[in-house]
Structure 1
């Protein structure tokens, strides 16, 4: 932008000024948009561009523009990015204050993108070398026009809002056909509001123990990325849910959804309001005679995790963690993380003959954790593989010990969400702001120890499921007396489990599967296609 030499010398008619160095700003943003690294709000960006080249004819207006244009440009770039909304950012900054300094440094390094820095360098050099021969403002406006045309006139399958197509498909049996994602979502929640798993007429003949292994940060995508999807543990389950959706990418909401598993899926906001008494899974189990136990390998203080599961999950029993348990890791906020194997031994040592239902929650895989000892030099992305291998080995150890004990136990491995260890175009590795399919698609496995008939082969549940199927499975194991004199088979039970299509939410984003693709809505923005090939 070149200022007028004086108000008297300013021409009476000026079509537009040059963008000058602001060409770099728009060219870089258009490049990021073309590579799906940011969104691009055309109306707002066009308005900003016109503001920059507007033919102000007074020195005062020119100076005023010079003052406000930089903060406006920064704000617009943030608005176009996939970063959290400003109010959400304030909350995140409060959480960042509790992070360990080494984790903050690690996060900062993830923002460095060599490809992006290289592209920026090339654009800057080209601009300063050719600016006297090429009208870059014309190029910028031309690219604006091109992307705007492609945005609104290209067939939907090729629009620039398309991020990645997902390959998995399934028959939608739970909702009517809908014309738009919003209608689809409304029909889904209307249907889910009517669903409940009843326990009133169920009687437990043969007592057994229930152990829920609620693992933070483990998805199928994480397993495949590390090559640990072939771990021997997964051959030992009687049932594997291949298409289980956690409905969220954060721990608190995931734990609440598990604890309310006896009702259909509610909206994210409804998780923080009281639910019908029949919804609370562990309350239903208590009516059958199950005692309740809570065991966590952490203090549960970050983001008020323990407080939320008590208030919103109907949980009243204390954490039975033995503070003398050996430490294996230091959390991202510096708090201690205790050995899973040691806590499994603590659980195994309980010999109470009364049937019990235990929720075991572990954060051994959470992003930012540091391994104590020889591997302490590794950052949390580098040490994810050894941490995951240790956890899978510890669960395998637990299985061996239960088998040796002869106890009747139903173990349910149900991760809260994935780690997002690979990242994607919209999120850095380890970030879970958006509940993408690769984060909410988790391995849920069930093992029944002490059944009259031994394990033959793993039964795979290939239909889309969520927490309601877990509640129904537990109810059927009790009702069909699977640990006593079974009146059904596991195959018949899993064939009768309720399906739930993948709809996932956080407080700012929603991801659904609609018309064969995954689509996401951030706040009040338009829907965009968002998924990952599997």
Structure 2
């Protein structure tokens, strides 16, 4: 692709090769870097550029270069992209064997970027037409120098951060830290010292606890579908407006939920034993609550059920009834059962002794297929009807509980969002990066049969996470909210702990730092993470 030295001016003391078509490679990468779609490792790219234009006069060396530059260029492009590490990608490819063929095709089509294809076509034709009049190699080298100057000597406009929305949580004292690493280290140090103490608490008035653990639901998803105004959200006593699920994957979300009685741990510590006081359901068991597990799926994909048992401290069987009707098929072809029927099953099995039930639903998971008239829709197209159906089913559950007159505390806690809108770094439905839009989830609490019902919904606008849920449950018991309350719900809510925004997966961390969101992938440098589409 580079022009051989024999075809250039040999009178020059150092006759560098022309980049030729590699100009397109670098110019497109610089454009993608400028638009925020990929990263750009300047040192490695400069080394590759110098290798391409090095004056190899010997024909054998020139031929060797022509053989290796294409795989090196592809590898460097992958390295500059923000795709998972090669080892992790190989591991994920193993999961593709379990995916339904229609879902694989749907995923493939999401990677087709028609705007980028059109840009590539225009670039190729422009280069072909103009290469005899314009020295593109000089332009490429000049742009390299320009971006290097911006990288190491940034101007005020080049470093201006995207100010967060006024409704987003503001991390306390982030202005006092010198860099994101220092802030993250101090965050985990503080979190390691926080616990909710259930010792000395007694359950005077028994009630049922139901945790609705919903896969793939964020505030961003609700707004994108227009369902953020669903009647269900008017029926909660408490809504956490700035709750952070702290991860964008189901297994880690379930573990964090089950360990809600301790401060937020790094992702790397989720798969090792925690202090016994951290396990929320174990603390509830000491108060006299039994345990129930109910899921509308088989829990086998990515060892979900195994994870919550092994790392979440769960040791009771799944109460799923085999007679429950199917409503969807999962992306791996496994059955997904009716939420409404399972709610009825739960209602019919309420006994005289109090239970804490964890209900997990994957009705909104990416790749699901609706059974019936809407089976032709792909999973992005069917997300709105699936979400509407789930919200209607939860609303149905609320109506049934209210009609029964039972004392029940319901906590809606989504695992993470679906990311159906996507952003400048992730395709719709992808959750590799735990961005604010994906981990900012709607958490609601309703106390059915409480002695003093809250007249209006209490909105928690401060940054919150699982520790606040654990303390809320503990306070509802301690203050005897279903018996003879010693405090108002507003007083309890106003004293809930705050948690700064930090979200993690196994390879990516997102925090809020000095007015913008920053992300670190593995051991790379921190980058700004805007949530624009």
TM range (shorter): over 0.9
1:467 match: 466
Structure 1 distance, partners of 2:75, 2:255, is 35
Q: Answer with 132-141 or 225-234: which moved more.
A: 132-141
Q: How many residues align?
A: 531
1:120 match: 120
2:56 match: 56
Counterparts of residues 451-490 of structure 1 (less than 5 Å): 451-490=450-489
Structure 1 distance, partners of 2:27, 2:520, is 26
Whether the 8 Å CA contact 2:424–2:531 is kept in 1: the answer is no
Structure 2 distance, partners of 1:22, 1:272, is 45
Distance 1:150 1:176, change over 3 A: closer
Offset, 1:221: 0.3
1:329 match: 328
> Does the residue aligned with 1:272 lie in a helix, a strand or coil?
coil
Whether the 8 Å CA contact 1:175–1:188 is kept in 2: the answer is no
> Does the residue aligned with 1:303 lie in a helix, a strand or coil?
helix
2:359 matched to 1:342?
no
Whether the 8 Å CA contact 1:236–1:447 is kept in 2: the answer is yes
Offset, 1:173: 4.6
1:436 match: 435
1:3 match: 4
Offset, 1:200: 1.1
> Does the residue aligned with 1:293 lie in a helix, a strand or coil?
strand
Distance 1:2 1:136, change over 3 A: same
> Does the residue aligned with 2:364 lie in a helix, a strand or coil?
coil
Deviations 1:207-230 (A, max 9, x none): 000000000000000000000000
Structure 2 distance, partners of 1:174, 1:285, is 34
Structure 2 gap segments, 5+ residues each: none
Structure 1 distance, partners of 2:156, 2:370, is 47
> Does the residue aligned with 2:414 lie in a helix, a strand or coil?
coil
Offset, 1:13: 3.0
Deviations 1:201-252 (A, max 9, x none): 1000000000000000000000000000000000000000000001100000
Whether the 8 Å CA contact 1:293–1:356 is kept in 2: the answer is yes
2:32 match: 32
Deviations 1:163-198 (A, max 9, x none): x54224555458893111000000000000000001
2:14 matched to 1:14?
yes
Offset, 1:28: 1.1
2:426 matched to 1:415?
no
Offset, 1:157: 5.8
Counterparts of residues 99-248 of structure 1 (less than 5 Å): 99-155=99-155, 158-159=158-159, 165-168=163-166, 170=169, 172-173=171-172, 177-248=176-247
Deviations 1:277-324 (A, max 9, x none): 000000000000000000000000000000011000000001111121
2:404 match: 405
TM-score calculated relative to the size of structure 1: 0.97
2:385 matched to 1:386?
yes
Offset, 1:93: 0.4
1:253 match: 252
Whether the 8 Å CA contact 1:165–1:530 is kept in 2: the answer is no
Whether the 8 Å CA contact 1:216–1:415 is kept in 2: the answer is yes
> Does the residue aligned with 2:108 lie in a helix, a strand or coil?
helix
Structure 1 distance, partners of 2:341, 2:156, is 54
Distance 1:292 1:176, change over 3 A: farther
Whether the 8 Å CA contact 1:176–1:187 is kept in 2: the answer is no
Structure 1 gap segments, 5+ residues each: none
Offset, 1:132: 1.0
RMSD over aligned Cα atoms: 1.8
